């Protein structure tokens, strides 16, 4: 029968493993948090376009220009013009923003995040 008094806790290798795991997840958080904050900015820009008066009556080029200006003001770098698709059908205009971000962690390990947001604009 083993006595509880003989147990002393984690060994040095155990502590090294725990600390390396914590370090890995902190590194992932530091690399991924700015990308998700940028995605939130893109969502906010789309929602502000949705609230814009008479936005559905404007030409597609003007809508794209307004959206890109909002992204430039907020220093969004991961979304380019070819990631934005604007479609008109009936009296509604749909804006789809579909993009992918690849962040390098270390060595040959990358994190890939894909985002797809869309908003439907009324003609008013």
**Both tokens assigned to 105:** 């962690």
Check: CB of residue 8 under 8 Å from CB of residue 76.
no
Check: CB of residue 68 under 8 Å from CB of residue 76.
no
Q: How far is CA 41 from CA 59, 73, 82, in A?
A: 24, 10, 18
42-91 residue pLDDT tens? 999 999 998 888 888 889 999 999 999 999 999 999 999 999 999 988 77
Closest listed residue to residue 40, CA positions, set 74, 89, 91? 74
Q: Indicate the range of 1-5, 29-33, 41-45, 50-54 predicted with least confidence.
A: 1-5
Check: CB of residue 18 under 8 Å from CB of residue 10.
yes
- Determine the pLDDT at residue 89: 85
Domain spans, the chain: 32-122
- The secondary structure of residue 91, as a DSSP letter, is T
| Dist. CA 32–CA 42, nearest whole Å | 16
Task: Count how many Cα atoms sit within 13 Å of the Cα of residue 123 in the half-sphere of its side chain.
Answer: 6
- Determine the pLDDT at residue 76: 93
By percentage, how much of the chain surpasses pLDDT 70? 93
Can you tell me whether residue 52 is helix, strand or coil?
coil
- Determine the pLDDT at residue 1: 55
């Amino acid at each position: 029968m083993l006595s509880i008094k003989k147990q002393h806790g984690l060994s040095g290798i155990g502590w090294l493993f725990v600390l390396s795991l914590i370090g890995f997840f902190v590194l992932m958080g530091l690399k991924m948090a700015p990308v998700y904050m940028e995605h939130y900015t893109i969502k906010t820009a789309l929602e502000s376009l949705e609230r814009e008066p008479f936005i559905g009556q404007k030409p597609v080029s003007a809508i794209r220009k307004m959206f890109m200006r909002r992204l430039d003001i907020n220093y969004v770098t991961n979304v380019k013009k070819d990631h934005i698709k604007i479609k008109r059908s009936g009296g509604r205009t749909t804006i789809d923003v579909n993009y992918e971000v690849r962040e390098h962690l270390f060595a040959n390990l990358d994190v890939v995040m894909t985002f797809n947001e869309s908003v439907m604009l009324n003609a008013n």
